[in-house]
Amino acid sequence: MKKRYTDVVGPVKQIPPTRGSLSNMYRNLTALFLLTLAACSPPNRGENSAICGITMLAAGARVMDQITLPHMALTEPPEALHEGIVPARVVGYGTTAAVTSLADDGSVTVTYLGEGFPSRPGFGAALVDDSSEVLRGILIWDADPPPADYPRIGTITNASTTMPLIGVSVYWPSVTSDRCPLFAELDTIAQ
């Protein structure tokens, strides 16, 4: 008679998955589904179409997952933020321009020029493509910022509110698609 594995080692104890791991799995599957749906939708619907809006919310959730990984945090601002104009958007709003400048201490100040800038709490994240190390834009949330020990690279402000700015490296294909880009090109915003 052959012995089964359980006869040799005893009964196998099943370890239930933690709530967080299931939550992250469902969030990742939802983001993947929505990005796939966006990739299969008709082209040229614009970033403010319904499908792109839903996809943008999923992308925001995916970026929030990346923020929780300490090795993805940037400790200094990317060079593209030293001075210039970059695409930025508040989650749920369209892309607009933001003006950046570098302070003497090496931190960055970003002035957001669009609608929907949240009052406190909130924060901005400079998103850098992890493969090309190119700054893709700044995403702004009306949520509690990461803990105080998370590296800050500067501040983001509008006429009345200033919030922390962090930098995060992201797997870019997981948060954007050709048909529903996370950030519209700045030269097409005025059109």
Give the pLDDT band of residue 162 (cuts 50, 70, 90): very high
- Buried/exposed 55-70: b ≥16 CB within 10 Å, e otherwise: bbebbbbbbbbbbeee
Domain ranges of the chain: 20-189
The whole-number pLDDT of residue 12 equals 39
The whole-number pLDDT of residue 5 equals 32
The whole-number pLDDT of residue 55 equals 76
Q: How many CA atoms lie within 13 A of 179 on its CB side?
A: 18
Give pTM, 2 decimals.
0.71
Q: What are the φ and ψ backbone dihedral angles of 39, each rounded to 5 degrees?
A: -65, -30
User: Which residues are registered as beta bridge partners of 117?
Assistant: none
Q: 90: Cβ–Cβ under 8 A, 6 or more apart, which residues?
A: 112, 114, 115, 116, 117, 118, 140, 141, 142
Burial class (CB in 10 A: 0-12, 13-18, 19+), 172: middle
Length of the chain: 191
Residue 151 pLDDT > 80, yes or no? yes
Give the pLDDT band of residue 53 (cuts 50, 70, 90): confident
pLDDT digits (tens, 9 = 90+) for 65-115: 888 888 888 998 988 888 889 999 998 788 999 999 998 888 899 999 988
